[in-house]
Amino acid sequence: MKDSYGRIIDYMRISITDHCNLRCRYCMPEGISQVPMEEILTYEEIEELCRAASELGISRLKITGGEPLVRSGCPRLIGMLKKIPGIEQVTMTTNGTLLKQYLPQLLDHGLDAVNISLDTLNPQIYQQITGKNQLHEVLAGIGQALKAGLTVKLNAVLQPGINSKEWLSLARLTTQYPLDVRFIEMMPIGCGRSYRPVSNQELLLRLKASYPDLRTDESIRGNGPAVYYRIPRAMGSVGFISALHGKFCSGCNRLRLTAQGKLKPCLCFEEEVDVMEILRGKKKGCNGSSAGERKRRYNGSSAGERKFRLQRSAAV
Ligand code: SAM
Ligand code: SF4
């Protein structure tokens, strides 16, 4: 699927819940209200939407949240999505606290890779950032995922004066384990607006100063806008996702689906399409229709109509 800027859109991030078992201060601090289950897309609705998206050229899906593993049956959803013709890859972003517990099921259902958030290696700082004392569980989950041979990427958001000094220890994990570590600049969205970012440009300069032989790593073609470098003899790469300084909009390849069924072409704009309304037949003129009618209306006589709706949302 091509948008009006000629960008190929082949990747969709799907949030399956807004609930989380951590309280990261820049994302979901205490006191954030949560949406009731009936206002969240069911797994069957997500599957139906992904079938339509696949027909339009979406081939890679990322399951995210909130924390995806707190929603019951998450591995089952991964199995459902893996069976959709045209879907080549289903991956997940998780805080890792429940990963060890669910890893066998996730692997059984065909999970292709996992991104795990890890902002610090220090238990006290972990508690300060996330509000919980669960670093040990996260590290165990990372260990098990590596042992199982799963592709692992760690995501770190640095905050000045909190965990920013840990950048080198985090980067050096790539020399000790076969995984990538990516630094994500704090984005001024939601609660992140209250926090200052650490510049990835400065981080890269410091990494180059520590490792003058640092090389760009073109071998990785992930789903996202990260730029990768490799420390000599390391097993993995260090990536930079520079939301503020990177200006990567020209290479954007994605759609986002919120847990409440809003399809968003861009994180930075309010623009969205309510696909839950379409799926549940609540859109004007759809009230009271049977499941079958609804399906026909959505699927369509409507492969064409559906295509138009999705393309329009991607083209904004
Ligand atoms: N709960 C899962 C996790 O933590 O990996 C998945 C959802 S979480 C929202 C996905 C990623 O977004 C995490 O790596 C988190 O650190 C990052 N994130 C959240 N708020 C952010 C912000 N304001 N700026 C940059 N990254 C942010
Ligand atoms: Fe939860 Fe992930 Fe947000 Fe942290 S970043 S509060 S783990 S959703």
Residue 215 binned pLDDT confidence (cut-offs 50, 70, 90) = very high
Strand order in the sheet with 60-64: 215-216, 227-230, 238-241, 180-184, 151-156, 113-117, 89-94, 60-64, 11-15, 254-257, 262-264, 273-274
Name all residues whose Cβ lies below 6 A of ligand 1: 20, 26-27, 64-65, 67, 93-95, 117, 155, 157, 184, 186-187, 189, 192
Residue 8 has a pLDDT of 85
Show the tokens assigned to 225.
């806008």
97 lines ligand 2 (CB under 6 A): no
Show the tokens assigned to 234.
């390391």
User: Using one digit for the tens of pLDDT, what is the confidence trace for 31-43?
Assistant: 777 888 889 999 9
Q: In whole numbers, what is the pLDDT of the chain averaged over residues?
A: 87
Q: Hey, whose CA ends up nearest to atom 4 of ligand 1?
A: 95
Residue 285 has pLDDT above 60, yes or no: no
Question: In ligand 1, which atom is closest to the CA atom of 185?
Answer: 25
Q: What is the spatial distance between Cα 83 and Cα 110, in angstroms, rounded to a whole number?
A: 9
Pocket probe mutation, ligand 2, options 20, 63, 137, 159, max atoms within 8 Å of Cβ = 20
27 lines ligand 2 (CB under 6 A): yes
Q: Cα 106 from chain centroid?
A: 16
Length of the chain: 316
User: Using one digit for the tens of pLDDT, what is the confidence trace for 74-124?
Assistant: 999 999 999 999 999 999 999 999 999 999 999 999 999 999 999 999 999
**Hey, is 92 helix, strand or coil?**
strand
Residue 296 has a pLDDT of 44
Pocket probe mutation, ligand 2, options 28, 94, 182, max atoms within 8 Å of Cβ = 28
User: Using one digit for the tens of pLDDT, what is the confidence trace for 226-244?
Assistant: 899 999 999 999 999 987 7
Residue 60 half-sphere exposure toward CB, CA atoms < 13 A: 15
Residue 218 has a pLDDT of 84
Residue 221 has a pLDDT of 59
Question: In ligand 1, which atom is closest to the CA atom of 20?
Answer: 1
Distance 27 CA to ligand 1 centre (A): 7
Task: Return all residues near 161 (Cβ < 8 A) that are at least 6 apart.
Answer: none
| Choice between 252 and 105, residue whose per-residue pLDDT is larger | 105
Dihedral angle over CA of 81, 184, 267, 75, nearest 10: 20
Pocket probe mutation, ligand 2, options 14, 16, 17, 24, max atoms within 8 Å of Cβ = 24
Residue 1 has pLDDT above 90, yes or no: no
User: Using one digit for the tens of pLDDT, what is the confidence trace for 189-207?
Assistant: 888 888 999 999 999 999 9
Residue 92 has a pLDDT of 98
